[in-house]
Amino acid sequence: MEGNRGRSLRCDLLRKIREFTRAIVRDLSIGRSPIVLIDRFRVHCTNPHANCCCSSVLPNGKEILTLQRENHVHRLDVLLRVLLIVQQLLQENRHGSKRDIYYMHPSVFSEQSVVDRAINDICILMQCSRHNLNVVSVGNGLVMGWIRFLEGGRKFDCINHPNTTLLVLLTTF
C-alpha cells in the first residue's frame, strides 16, 4: 500500500509533467519555438536506492534546447517520448526498467545511452530522482515484468510479481 507521501510525490510529478508538456504545446501553437533549459550537473541520480533530489547539488551552467538545432530536435523528441512512458508508469503506479523503455522505440533511441540521458534530463527538469519516476535500472542477467519462460530446464515466472527482479544465469554452449 502506498503512503500519503508517495502518492503526493507522484501527483506532484504528474502535475509537473502536464505543465511542462502544456508549455511546449502552447509555444508550438502560437508559432514559437519552445526553449527547454536544463541545468548541467556533474553528478546525476546514480544511486538507485537514494531518495535524492538533483536540485540539492548546485548546477554547473545550463543547456538550452531549441528546435533550431537538429540534434536538439532529436533530443527533445526522445525526451518527450520517455516522458510519456514515465507519465504512464506514474499514472498506473508501475515500475519499468531503462532497458524496457529503450526497447519500446529502439529505432528512435538508437542506443541505451540515449534513454539514459533522457531520464537524467527528466530528473533534472522535474527535480527528482530516477527512483521517483518509477524507472529502475536492471543489470544483465536480471528479468522483470510480465514474463514467463524456460531457460536451461528452469522455469522463470514473473507474472505474479512483475515488479520483482529475478536473476537468470544463462547457460552457454
Which residue is catalytic, options 26, 66, 74, 103? 103
What span, in angstroms and rounded, lies between the C-alpha atoms of 93 and 118? 20
Tell me the torsion sign for CA atoms 21, 127, 46, 138.
negative
Residue 87 — φ and ψ, nearest 5°? -60, -45
CA contacts within 13 A on the Cβ side of 95 = 17
Whose CA is closest to 36, among 76, 68, 70?
76
Q: Which three cell numbers stand for residue 26?
A: 502552447
Q: Tell me if residue 102 is catalytic.
A: no
What residues are annotated to the active site? Answer: 103
